[in-house]
Amino acid sequence: MITVKYDTTPPLGHPKITLSLFHKDILKHSVSCLVDSGADCTTLPSSMSPLIYGFDVCKMPESFLKRLGAVLNESECFCGDKINSVKLPLMVGFDKFTFPININWVDNANAMPLLGREDFFDCFKIELDGLRQQVIFYPNLEHIEKQKSKFDFNKINNLIARLKIV
- pLDDT over 60 (residue 164): no
CATH homologous superfamily, domain 2-160: Acid Proteases (2.40.70.10)
Q: Which of 54, 47, 26, 21 is nearest to 163 (CA)?
A: 54
Distance of CA 162 to the CA centre of its chain: 24
Distance CA 82, CA 6 (A): 29
Q: What CA–CA distance (Å, rounded) separates 46 from 96?
A: 26
The mean per-residue pLDDT over the stretch 131-136 comes to 89
**Which H/E stretch holds residue 84?**
strand 82-94
Q: How many residues make up the chain in this entry? A: 166
The number of beta carbons lying within 10 Å of the beta carbon of residue 80 is 6
What integer pLDDT is reported at residue 166 of this predicted model? Answer: 38
The mean pLDDT of 133-140, rounded to a whole number, is: 91
Domain ranges of the chain: 2-160
Q: For 39-91, what is each residue's pLDDT tens digit? A: 888 999 999 999 998 889 999 888 888 888 888 887 776 667 778 889 998 99
Looking at this protein, which amino acid is placed at residue 24?
Answer: K
pLDDT of residue 42: 92
List beta partners, residue 124.
139
* Residues whose CB falls within 8 Å of the CB of residue 128, separated by 6 or more in sequence, listed in order: 15, 35, 37, 135
C-alpha torsion sign, points 41, 42, 46, 51: negative
